[in-house]
Amino acid sequence: MQTVLPIVVAALFGVAVYLLLSKRIIRMLLGVVVLGNAVNLSIFAAGRIGVAVPPIIPGGNLVPNGAIANPLPQALILTAIVISFSFFAFLLVLAFRAYQDLGTDDTDRMRVAEPEGEGPPPLGY
């Protein structure tokens, strides 16, 4: 488990970067989701996950007897999952509206500010 987790996190980061560098908006959105999951998994791994160490102090003790998992990263991950889901939903609505208005999800053809047929922009006022 200790050696597989960094490999999975690195693979998720690689896939996320590959998807974010795409020309299509939907692939970019999927890259944002995968990147969020990779970050969550790396934060979760920083909290010392394991089978035999729950994030609970036994009853009657004020301090833990041995090694325990850190509960703070787990709480932060739960919050980050909710925030990333709402962020993805917002980006999905924006991408859908851009597709409705422009008729494409290709970033090269989304040239509203600088149309292809008109020459370069003015150099001064």
pLDDT in tens, 60-74: 878 777 777 777 888
pLDDT in tens, 5-61: 889 999 999 999 999 999 999 999 999 999 999 999 998 887 666 555 666 777 787
Provide the whole-model pTM. Answer: 0.74
User: How many C-beta atoms surround the C-beta of residue 91 within 10 A?
Assistant: 15
Amino acid at residue number 108: D
Angle, helices 71-102/25-46, rounded to nearest 10 degrees: 180
CATH class name, domain 4-50+69-102:
mainly alpha
DSSP, residue by residue, 46-84: HT---SS--S-PPTT-SS-SS----HHHHHHHHHHHHHH
Residue 5 phi, psi (nearest 5): -60, -45
